[in-house]
Structure 1
Amino acid sequence: MRRVIADVVRAEGAPGPTLVLDRDRLPPGMLASRSDLAAVRAWLERSGRGHIRKLGLYGTSADPAYDLDYRFVQCLPGGFDFRTGCGHSLLACVAARGLTGPVRVRAVTTGDTVVCEPEPGGTYTVRLERPGPLAALLPTGRPLDLLCGLRVTLVRFGNPYVLVNAADLGLRSGRELFTADDAVLARLREVRAAAAAALGHRPDGAVPKVAALAVDRAGALAVRAVTVPAWHPSLALTGALCVTAAAAVPGTLPELLTRAGGGAPGASGRRPMRLLTPGGAVATSAATAGSWLRDVSVHGKRARVVERGVPLPWRIHVTA
């Protein structure tokens, strides 16, 4: 008999750590059922780890074009969401595996290709590769939509997001956005629920995500997002990807606000951006060619193993 073990890994900027499990060390089909996941959730609560709300399952990919396959499960108050993605948890899996050199990951949950490339100093560039026309990023086909009386941009790149102009909420700067009260949070949740209905998602699910944007210093956008169930302490990696991708599309809120702040949206080539969040600045870039998007990257990301080899409440048979 052998203990089932997991690692607890925290990616910098995430609201909490991820419980990371190596599929190659598990029996086939383990953790594929809600009952298995509920047992893990109960064990997390019993063991003082109830703050862990993200589960990452990774293993060697059957496709030789990839190094790893990755699945993500978001724990919700009433169950689990299997349709969302999490870039921070994907990076946590890469850090747990300890591979050197660029790691090419197939995100099975969302169908995305993500490359985690080590940088000097122990950080990573996380690049989402989804070549296609910029117009395909807009699920309604429009750069601006009206929800709850507000102009918003609906964008899908990794996860779907609904982006709101903070000025329409009465917030005129990044400082005002970052100190906004619960009334603003409730308003954003209302917008998120309306976006979920418009995009065909469950109103109590984890997607679409919602974030408010404000013009800050020249060339930078202030971004504050909502996670499950409160303000995000920084910005989801998928949120940084979505805002950066949307800023390359003419007429979207990120593009309009970036232009108003003195940035240079819409140029072909590798276009850098700087996003200001409550947890610090995030460096991103998008590679475009005319009306075509090649990829979007988030730079300078870190992840560290908090606990290694944590035994879960199962044992499995080992055969020679």
Structure 2
Amino acid sequence: MTQTPIPYLFMRGGTSRGPYFRRSDLPEDRGKLAEVLMAVMGAGNPRNIDGLGGGNAVTTKVVMLSVSEEPDVDVDYFFAQVAVEKREVDFKPTCGNMLVGVGPAAIEMGLVAPKGDVTPVRIRAVNTGALVEAEVQTPGGQVRYAGDLAIDGVPGTAAPVALNFMEVTGSQTGAMFPTGNPIDVIDGIEVSLVDVAMPMMIARAVDLGITGHESQEELDAMPALFARFEALRLKAGERMGLGDVTKSVVPKVGLIAAPRAGGHLAARYFMPWTTHPTLAVTGSQCLAACALAPGTVAAGLAVTGASPFEMQIEHPMGMMDVRVKYDTSDGFAFLSAGVTRTARLIARGEVMVPEGIL
């Protein structure tokens, strides 16, 4: 018996990277699929030495694509978060950074035909049901990766990929505030439990003993901090109707503070057992919604403006801009969000699955 080859593209999407597959090239059974993805990424080792992973949660992400059967949708985007040191795969969340590469990858795979200088690609996130339209640069019928847009956390510049998110409120729980409250108190700590693009537990950094301006390395060296907010997160998951989230990366954790670098809000985003080096695209939308909604833990910390509004959120490596629209005519309603990021095709070929798995 020999190893089994599976064709793939290896892409950077935003500030994450990983393999992009055709869904049809992988097992349908979730258990078998998880075994394949853990082997591909080298899960269960801090360096992912026997796979494609990079020893960090932002480099152990997997994208699986297929032509959508839904009307007015081009591509179904199925995401998997493979653990680094554990042999686990979480199929519950989505990833907004890897989503940046979906449009280019779909065109490269022949799932979507290029249309003029800019090709719109309508994407359904299988994990959450969210709808997103990507605008991909395709002059001459080819995906263009070179460009002038710089994003914090990625060296150099590249072509812009605009993402417009629709129907982001209540992505997994059905409501922006799943408990009905803009603030809940868990073990004496005020938190906002928010579900916009990604379910999150958001708290003031100072309430957990930090400033909210620490570096990724400083935060990852604080095991007591992680232990404290993990205990809160488990209770938050139950209150949000997500059940036992012990082995799930959802809800994510955001700790916020007043801005210091000219932005509208400072945030540190956790995945949740390590610190994100920058900020997740989905998390940025949830944080922006929390900042704009009245009565949340962001009150008094965030600088806000009238809709439509481009919110700048400070993260460990710079800033992320989030375009938001909201309505306050009858309470608060978060309408839509958008970001512009970059992607790059790094490699294409076949990844080998060890003997005995397939």
CA 1:214 to 1:131, structure 2 compared with 1: closer, same or farther past 3 Å?
closer
| Deviation larger for 53-62 or 75-84 | 75-84
Q: Secondary structure of 2:167's partner?
A: strand
CA distance in structure 1 between the partners assigned to 2:28 and 2:236 by the alignment: 31
CA 1:228 to 1:171, structure 2 compared with 1: closer, same or farther past 3 Å?
closer
CA 1:307 to 1:68, structure 2 compared with 1: closer, same or farther past 3 Å?
same
Matched, 1:198 2:239: yes
Matched, 1:86 2:86: no
Residue from 288, 296, 308 that aligns with 2:348: 308
Q: How does 1:47-196 map to 2 (within 5 A)?
A: 47-51=50-54, 52-76=59-83, 77-98=86-107, 99=114, 100-118=118-136, 121=148, 122-130=159-167, 136-172=175-211, 174-175=213-214, 179-180=218-219, 181-182=221-222, 183-196=224-237
CA distance in structure 2 between the partners assigned to 1:64 and 1:245 by the alignment: 29
Highest RCO, 1 vs 2 (Cα 8 Å, sep ≥ 6): 1
CA distance in structure 2 between the partners assigned to 1:296 and 1:172 by the alignment: 27
Matched, 1:34 2:31: yes
The 8 Å contact of residues 81 and 89 in structure 2, kept in 1 or not, is answered as: yes
CA distance in structure 2 between the partners assigned to 1:113 and 1:201 by the alignment: 27
Residue 13 of structure 1 corresponds to 15
CA 1:272 to 1:7, structure 2 compared with 1: closer, same or farther past 3 Å?
same
Matched length: 301
Q: Secondary structure of 1:7's partner?
A: strand
CA distance in structure 2 between the partners assigned to 1:9 and 1:276 by the alignment: 25
Question: Once the two structures are superposed, what CA deviation does each residue of 1:40-69 show, in whole Å capped at 9, x if it has no partner?
Answer: 322432754243522211122112311211
The 8 Å contact of residues 126 and 298 in structure 1, kept in 2 or not, is answered as: yes
Question: What's the offset of the Cα at 1:156?
Answer: 0.4
CA distance in structure 2 between the partners assigned to 1:132 and 1:140 by the alignment: 14
CA distance in structure 2 between the partners assigned to 1:176 and 1:150 by the alignment: 23
CA distance in structure 2 between the partners assigned to 1:186 and 1:155 by the alignment: 21
CA 1:282 to 1:178, structure 2 compared with 1: closer, same or farther past 3 Å?
farther
Question: What's the offset of the Cα at 1:74?
Answer: 1.6
Residue 222 of structure 1 corresponds to 266
The 8 Å contact of residues 271 and 286 in structure 1, kept in 2 or not, is answered as: yes
Amino acid corresponding to residue 81 of structure 2 in structure 1: Q
The 8 Å contact of residues 43 and 313 in structure 1, kept in 2 or not, is answered as: yes
Provide TM-score, normalisation by structure 1. Answer: 0.84
CA 1:286 to 1:33, structure 2 compared with 1: closer, same or farther past 3 Å?
same
Residue 316 of structure 2 corresponds to 278
Computed over aligned residues only, the root mean square deviation of the Cα atoms, in angstroms, reads 2.8
Question: What's the offset of the Cα at 1:240?
Answer: 0.4
Question: What's the offset of the Cα at 1:176?
Answer: 7.9
| Deviation larger for 117-126 or 189-198 | 117-126
Amino acid corresponding to residue 150 of structure 1 in structure 2: I
CA distance in structure 1 between the partners assigned to 2:227 and 2:318 by the alignment: 24
CA 1:38 to 1:131, structure 2 compared with 1: closer, same or farther past 3 Å?
closer
| Deviation larger for 75-84 or 201-210 | 75-84
